[in-house]
A = this chain, B = another copy of it.
Amino acid sequence: MKGGGRELVRVGDLGEFGLIKRLDAIVRESSNPRLLFGIGDDAAAWEPEPGTVTVATTDCLIEGVHFDLATTSWTDLGWKALAENLSDVAAMGCRPRYALIGLALPNDRLLEDAEALYRGFAQCGAEYNCSIVGGDTVASPIVSLHVTVVGESLPSVDEPRLLKRSSAQPGDSVAVTGPLGGSAAGLRLLQRGPGREARRAPDEALIESHLRPRPRVIVGLALVEAGIRCAIDVSDGLLADLGHICERSYVNAEIDLARIPIDPAVVAEFRSEATDFALSGGEDYELIAVGPEACLEQASTTLSELGEPALIIIGTIVSSDDHGTVQIRNADGQPLKLGRAGYEHFAIAKP
C-alpha cells in the first residue's frame, strides 16, 4: 500500500535537525499563553507564575549509539546521562531541581549493574542539588536511558532572565567557559584500550572529562546575573553549537582560532588532531556565552570571586545577508575552510 508512486522519505535522509523541524511543525499549534518557548532551545520554558520560569529538558541515550559499556562503567554512565541534562539547564541560566529517569533494560541484565547506574545518578544529583524524583523501568531488547530534568530560573521582576539561543546580536562577543577538546580526546584514549603501560595522569584527566563531565550550573547563573541573555552548551561541538546560536539568532560568528582554549593535554597527546577535537569533538559541556563584552567581563569578575575560571573571549557576532555561519580565522586573519561538523543523531544520506 505504501510507496505507490509517492516519494518515500526516511528519517535518515533528513538528519536530526531536519526531523525535529518537521515534527515541531505538527505539535506547535498546541500552544499555551504561559509557554515562553518549546522545541528548539536547550530546554523548554514556561512561566507558572509571573516572575518565575520553569525549564525542562529530556535526552534519550541508546546503547551502541550514545554509549558503549565496553568503555563506560554503569556508574559513569549514570553520572553522564544526568550531567548532560543538567548542562542543558545550565545553558538556560537556570538551576536544575528535579530529575525523572526512564530505564529500559533486558531481563537478563544484572541487578548490580542497574544499582551501579543509579549510584551514578545519585552521585551527580547530590553534587548538583538535583533530586531524582521518579521514573519508569521497563523490559526492552536493548539498554536505553531517558532522563528528564526540570529546573528553575532566577527570579525576575519584569522580563524572565534566561539564556536563549536566539538572543545573539551583531557586535556581541563570543566566549567559552573553559578548555575544549578534552572529552573527544578522552574517548579516543578509551577506545585505544589500556595499552601496555599504565595511563599517565593527564590521560586520566582527559578520560575523566569524557566520562564525568561537569555541567556549568554556577557559571550559567553568573552569566544571567551579569546581564548575558544568550548561551548554549557544547554538546555537539563548538562549531555546531555556535552554529545553532547563529541560525536561531539570524546572525553569523567570526572566531579567532588562536583564542580557542584547547586543553594542553590534548595538544600534547594529539597534536594535529587537537584543533579538530576542540572545534568538533563535542561533549565538553562547557558553555558558549554571547553578549556585550562588558557583561562578559562582569561575569568573569563574579566567577573569579566564586573561585571559578574566567570566561575566554574567542570572537564576535556579525551580521550579513545569510546567517548561521561560523567563520574561523587563523593567526593571519584568513578564514579556514571547514565543514560545520558536529554530531547529528540521524546520518544524513550522501548522494
Interface residues of A (CB under 8 A from B): 2, 8-14, 16, 19-20, 22-23, 26-27, 29-32, 35, 38-39, 43-44, 46, 48-49, 52, 54, 56-62, 64-66, 97-98, 100-112, 114-115, 118-119, 121-122, 125-126, 129-142, 144, 146, 148, 150, 152, 345-347
Contacts and interface: CB of A to CB of B under 8 A. Distances in A.
Contact of A137 (B56, B121, B345): B345
A122 B39 CA distance: 14
Given A62-B138, A65-B140, A139-B347, A56 B133 contact: yes
Given A26-B122, A27-B121, A62-B104, A9 B111 contact: yes
B131 A14 contact: no
A94 to B, nearest CB: 13
Contact of A57 (B100, B101, B132): B100
A26 B48 CA distance: 31
28 contacts: A8-B112, A10-B107, A12-B107, A19-B137, A22-B115, A23-B115, A23-B118, A26-B115, A27-B121, A30-B125, A39-B134, A48-B48, A49-B52, A54-B150, A58-B135, A60-B102, A60-B103, A65-B138, A66-B138, A100-B148, A102-B146, A104-B144, A107-B347, A137-B346, A138-B345, A139-B345, A141-B142, A142-B142
Given A11-B107, A27-B132, A30-B130, 13 more contacts: A11-B109, A11-B114, A12-B139, A16-B137, A23-B114, A30-B131, A30-B132, A35-B133, A38-B133, A39-B135, A54-B54, A56-B150, A62-B141
A350 to B, nearest CB: 13
Among A118, A131, A347, find the residue whose CB has the most chain B CB atoms closer than 10 A: A131
A58 B22 contact: no
A13 B14 CA distance: 42
Contacts of A23: 103, 114-115, 118, 137
Count this chain's copies in the assembly.
Answer: 2
Nearest to A127: B30
Contacts of A129: 32
Contacts of A135: 39, 58
A23 B146 CA distance: 15
A105 B58 contact: no
A48 B97 CA distance: 10
Nearest to A146: B146
A2 B26 CA distance: 48
A46 B121 contact: no
B111 A19 contact: yes
B137 A20 contact: yes
B140 A144 contact: yes
A29 B150 contact: no
A104 B44 CA distance: 19
A22 B137 CA distance: 12
Give the 9 A-B CB pairs with smallest separation, nearest first.
A12-B107, A44-B133, A44-B134, A27-B132, A146-B146, A38-B133, A9-B111, A26-B118, A32-B131
Nearest to A6: B112
Contacts of A29: 122, 126
A38 B152 CA distance: 18
A62 B30 CA distance: 26
Contacts of A11: 105-111, 114, 137
